[in-house]
Amino acid sequence: MAQKTSPKKESIAEDPRHTQALQSYEAGLRALQEHKFEKAKPLFQKVLAGPSKELCDRATVHLNACNQHLDRPGATQFKSVEEHYDYAVSLMNVGDYVTAREHIEKLLKQAPKTDFVVYGLAALDCLTGHVEDSLKHLDEALRLNAGLRYQARNDSDFHNLAEDPRFTELLYPDPAADLTSPESPFREDESY
């Protein structure tokens, strides 16, 4: 025997405007939780045009939070490369690798030969399973600043490479090797 549903609930569930508003609200909430306020704001604005008063009320609260973050002075501006890098590392530490990569890539455009930025990219590559890229970027960072070798030896971000002999070769080079040799197994498109 079929159960009767109330006409009000049935009409809300069938209303495509309600479905669209709900989808926009859920997407906006995900973006807000990821601190992507620029992305969340227009999604919550779409919800306000929807038929559900309850959803509009919730979206208004979240929209206000987005506006507060976006209006905050210096919210996305950094005083130095070091400050911007520290922010990217904080994103890596909380597991937001996508946003961290976006910031690291911006830093690489600003300061492409900055040793700690290249090192950070190597760590991020390792954390995200891009082993070959990680080794290549770590090699580059070590050529820019050999002192980073000691940091990498104790950096838990490189735990995925701990057993890789190529990683060991980078961190513990043979002292008898010709240190002036420009050859490196991780360089790309270089001619001598």
Give tens-digit pLDDT for 76-102: 577 889 988 988 888 888 888 998 999
pLDDT of 117 reads: 95
Task: Enter the pTM of the model.
Answer: 0.56
Could you give the CA distance from residue 128 to residue 123 in angstroms, rounded to a whole number?
A: 9
